[in-house]
């Protein structure tokens, strides 16, 4: 009963043989299961099978191995109580170290395995052993991460470290259960609770009755939005993101605000590229963002042309901004960014020569290569004491049925600009008004508490460039004041969702002023 016993059963076998050898050399008795047992035997280590302790072979194709009093009794027994006498009465020895990580459930899902295989990769005995050991962490070391193996072979482990390892273990099983819940919930019919549902629409499966935010820290940052706030960047489960997983190839480390702005810039840039083609097949998109709002957006035949036009759309706001481009940045394109102070540049690729130029000429500029990843399906925003959760706004131009409601229809060129302006307005904070011409923004008013104020900001920003431009509004016009303002400044065509009580008055004003107006029937609030 005095020999320390370690139970080793891991899916991730990184370093397990070396760790087991260190335990053996320190006098530990080794017990193992399945594939881990084979690895240790091949390493020439003396190791007992779990079945030697339980008196039962592994059963049901390995589904039952460790669910037995000889295992859980040895793990859960309190050392400073009558539990040890009970173990001795039943011939059970203590287990003083449990090293377990779980079946590769998430990895199996990620590679698109069939449902039967995914279900078989739901670990049962592993979580039970982890939870048992973590509960009794004062006496039992629990290890779920190879990074902690070195700590376990020290002569003694402090109470604080034991408690930390226990917390880490419960986080491990919690994240695992969250992944299983998400998988089993996907595609299932919504539960009928009898409660009224707004607009009589059933909630989709991803908005289950209970959501678990499985957050793992992905990046450290110096502080949050302001220096007096702590901050870090977290990954939700196993999700990947184009900015979250981007490679920083030059410049300083990313800040909290850099991540937020780069994510906003890349989202609009990616949608424009998908909508209008990219590279030789179409147009390169460039999006400049300041405080999560687009301030200059353009489509061009090259990165240099698109960037130049986006920069010139609002040279004041772009200073200190974040820029996303949808085409690869070569040395020529890199040089076009000279003379403008930017915080971040993100692109799908950056040549070696461009990286070297940025490092030498703009060492403070963070240059990112976006990861090949799509944003998740849910939009989660914090509230005091909770979260507001919704599906992401994935409605694109192709999903709409735009309707011309004025006597004068838009020209072909105006249709292109209306589509472009509408897509930009979708990513500007409400209330938002976007003016564009030749698929370049010439004025943006965003985040205003009144739509007329947003429009006034946009036309003021555009100045003379408003003449002949198009206007997009992400939500309907409650009055005709915005239309009349547009007419005064020479705007030629307007696109907006429609649906207001005063739509007839708004349309009449457009006809009176000789403007074209298109209704989309779909708004894009963004708060």
- What's residue 1's pLDDT? 46
Residue 123 has pLDDT above 90, yes or no: no
168 φ, ψ to 5°?
Answer: -65, -40
- What's residue 176's pLDDT? 84
Residue 288 has pLDDT above 70, yes or no: yes
* Across 10-29, average pLDDT: 85
Question: Which residue, chain included where needed, has tokens 């490679």?
Answer: 247
Are residues 394 and 400 in contact, defined by beta-carbon separation less than 8 angstroms?
no
- What's residue 156's pLDDT? 83
Lowest mean pLDDT among 81-85, 157-161, 229-233, 291-295: 81-85
Rounded to an integer, what distance in angstroms lies between the CA atom of residue 16 and that of residue 512? 79
Rounded to an integer, what distance in angstroms lies between the CA atom of residue 92 and that of residue 96? 13
DSSP state of 499: -
State both tokens at 189.
């019919």
52 confidence band (pLDDT: 50, 70, 90)? low
Residue 88 has pLDDT above 60, yes or no: yes
* Across 381-389, average pLDDT: 90
478 φ, ψ to 5°?
Answer: -70, -20
Beta strands in 307-415 (DSSP E): 321-325, 342-347, 366-369, 378-383, 386-391, 403-404
- What's residue 13's pLDDT? 85
* Across 195-201, average pLDDT: 40
Q: What percent of the chain stands above pLDDT 70?
A: 90
- Residues contacting 99, CB < 8 A, separation 6+: 6, 7, 8, 9, 10, 16, 19, 143, 144, 149, 152
| N residues, the chain | 527
Domains for the chain: give ranges and CATH numbers.
5-184 (3.40.50.1380), 239-369 (3.40.140.20), 399-519 (3.40.140.20)
Burial (CB < 10 A; 0-12, 13-18, 19+), residue 442, is buried
173 φ, ψ to 5°?
Answer: -70, -35
- Three-state SS string over 246-263 comes to CEEEECCCCCHHHHHHHH
Rounded to an integer, what distance in angstroms lies between the CA atom of residue 106 and that of residue 183? 9
Lowest mean pLDDT among 10-24, 82-96, 320-334, 474-488: 82-96
Lowest mean pLDDT among 14-18, 250-254, 279-283: 279-283
With residue 294 as reference, give the H or E element that holds it. Answer: strand 293-300
- CA dihedral (28, 29, 33, 36) in degrees, to 10, reads 40
Look at the alpha carbons of 312, 314, 316, 322 in this order and tell me if their dihedral is positive or negative: negative
- What's residue 201's pLDDT? 55
pLDDT tens for residues 455-501?
A: 999 999 999 999 999 999 999 999 999 999 999 999 999 999 999 99
Pairing of strands 284-290, 293-300: antiparallel
- What's residue 58's pLDDT? 67
* Across 229-254, average pLDDT: 92
Catalytic residue among 168, 219, 291, 408: 291
Catalytic residue among 24, 135, 219, 408: 135
Rounded to an integer, what distance in angstroms lies between the CA atom of residue 168 and that of residue 96? 18
Rounded to an integer, what distance in angstroms lies between the CA atom of residue 149 and that of residue 143? 7
* Across 224-244, average pLDDT: 91
62 confidence band (pLDDT: 50, 70, 90)? low
What angle do helix axes 125-135 and 69-76 make, rounded to 10 degrees? Answer: 20
Pairing of strands 5-10, 97-101: parallel
Integer CA distances (angstroms), 193 to 121, 208, 209, 212, 502, in order: 31, 12, 10, 20, 38
- What's residue 194's pLDDT? 38
371 confidence band (pLDDT: 50, 70, 90)? very high
Lowest mean pLDDT among 79-83, 322-326, 404-408: 79-83
Could you write out the DSSP letters of every residue in 99-164? Answer: EEE---HHHHHHTT--HHHHHHT--SHHHHHHHHHHHTTTTSEEE--GGGHHHHTSS---HHHHHH
197 confidence band (pLDDT: 50, 70, 90)? very low
Whether 501 sits among the annotated catalytic residues: the reply is no
Are residues 98 and 143 in contact, defined by beta-carbon separation less than 8 angstroms?
yes
Choice between 243 and 94, residue whose per-residue pLDDT is larger = 243
Q: What percent of the chain stands above pLDDT 90?
A: 52
Rounded to an integer, what distance in angstroms lies between the CA atom of residue 504 and that of residue 500? 9
Q: What is the CA radius of gyration of the chain?
A: 30
Distance in Å from the first CA to the final CA of the chain: 63
Choice between 98 and 155, residue whose per-residue pLDDT is larger = 98
Integer CA distances (angstroms), 325 to 58, 301, 423, 507, in order: 56, 12, 16, 37
Question: Which residue, chain included where needed, has tokens 């901004």?
Answer: 321
Burial (CB < 10 A; 0-12, 13-18, 19+), residue 453, is middle
Are residues 340 and 327 in contact, defined by beta-carbon separation less than 8 angstroms?
no
pLDDT tens for residues 326-368?
A: 999 999 999 999 999 999 999 999 999 999 999 999 999 999 9
188 confidence band (pLDDT: 50, 70, 90)? very low
Look up the pTM and report it: 0.78
pLDDT tens for residues 127-181?
A: 888 988 888 888 888 999 888 888 887 878 888 998 999 998 888 888 888 888 8
State both tokens at 416.
């292109």
- What's residue 64's pLDDT? 58
- What's residue 301's pLDDT? 93
- Three-state SS string over 327-354 comes to CCECHHHHHCCCCCCEEEEEECCECHHH
Question: Which residue, chain included where needed, has tokens 């989309």?
Answer: 520
Highest mean pLDDT of the ranges 88-102, 127-141, 318-332, 372-386: 318-332
Whether 228 sits among the annotated catalytic residues: the reply is no
Residue 407 has pLDDT above 90, yes or no: yes
> Mean pLDDT of all residues in the chain?
87
State both tokens at 321.
């901004």
Residue 129: closest CA among 10, 26, 215, 49: 10
């Amino acid at each position: 009963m005095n020999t320390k016993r370690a139970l080793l059963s891991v899916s991730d076998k990184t370093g397990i043989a070396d760790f087991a050898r260190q335990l053996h050399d320190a006098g530990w008795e080794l017990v193992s299961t399945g594939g881990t047992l084979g690895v240790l035997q091949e390493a020439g280590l003396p190791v007992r099978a779990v079945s030697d302790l339980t008196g039962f072979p592994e059963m049901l194709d390995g589904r039952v191995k460790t669910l037995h009093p000889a295992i859980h009794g040895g793990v859960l027994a309190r050392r400073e109580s009558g539990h040890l006498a009970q173990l001795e009465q039943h011939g059970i020895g203590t287990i003083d170290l449990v090293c377990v990580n779980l079946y590769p459930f998430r990895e199996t899902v990620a590679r698109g395995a069939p449902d039967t295989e995914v279900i078989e990769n739901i670990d049962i005995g592993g979580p039970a052993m982890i939870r048992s050991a973590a509960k009794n962490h004062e006496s039992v070391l629990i290890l779920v991460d190879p990074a902690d193996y070195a700590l376990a072979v020290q002569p003694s482990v402090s109470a604080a470290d034991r408690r930390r390892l226990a917390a880490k273990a419960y986080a491990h099983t919690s994240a695992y259960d969250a992944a299983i819940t998400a998988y089993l919930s996907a595609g299932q019919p919504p539960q009928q609770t009898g409660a009224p549902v707004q607009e009589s629409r059933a909630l989709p499966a991803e908005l289950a009755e209970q959501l678990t935010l499985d957050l793992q820290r992905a990046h450290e940052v110096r502080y949050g939005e302001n220096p007096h706030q702590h901050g870090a960047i977290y990954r939700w489960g196993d999700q990947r993101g184009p900015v979250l997983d981007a490679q920083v190839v030059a410049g300083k480390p990313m800040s909290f605000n850099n991540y937020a702005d780069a994510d906003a810039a890349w989202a609009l840039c990616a949608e424009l590229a998908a909508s209008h083609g990219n590279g030789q097949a179409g147009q390169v998109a460039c999006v400049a963002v300041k405080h999560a709002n687009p301030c200059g957006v353009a489509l061009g035949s090259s990165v240099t042309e698109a960037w130049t036009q986006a920069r010139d759309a609002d040279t004041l706001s772009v200073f200190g901004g974040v820029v996303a481009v949808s085409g690869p940045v070569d040395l020529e394109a890199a040089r076009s960014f000279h003379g403008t102070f930017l915080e971040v540049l993100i692109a799908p690729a950056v040549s070696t020569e461009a990286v070297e130029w940025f490092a030498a000429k703009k060492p403070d500029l963070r240059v990112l290569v976006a990861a090949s990843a799509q944003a998740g399906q849910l939009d989660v925003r914090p509230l005091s004491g909770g979260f507001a959760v919704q599906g992401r706004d994935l409605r694109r131009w192709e999903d709409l049925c735009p309707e011309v409601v004025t006597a004068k229809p838009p020209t072909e060129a105006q249709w292109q600009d209306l589509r472009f302006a509408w897509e930009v307005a979708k990513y500007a904070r409400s209330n938002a008004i976007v003016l564009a011409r030749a698929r370049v923004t010439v004025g943006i008013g965003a985040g205003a508490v009144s739509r007329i104020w947003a429009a006034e900001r946009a036309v003021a920003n555009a100045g003379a460039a408003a003449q002949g431009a198009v206007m997009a509004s992400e939500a309907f016009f409650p009055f005709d004041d915005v239309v009349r303002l547009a007419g005064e400044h020479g705007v030629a065509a307007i696109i907006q969702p429609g649906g207001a009580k005063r739509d007839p008055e708004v349309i009449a004003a457009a006809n009176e002023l000789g403007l074209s107006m298109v209704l989309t029937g779909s708004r894009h609030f963004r708060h």
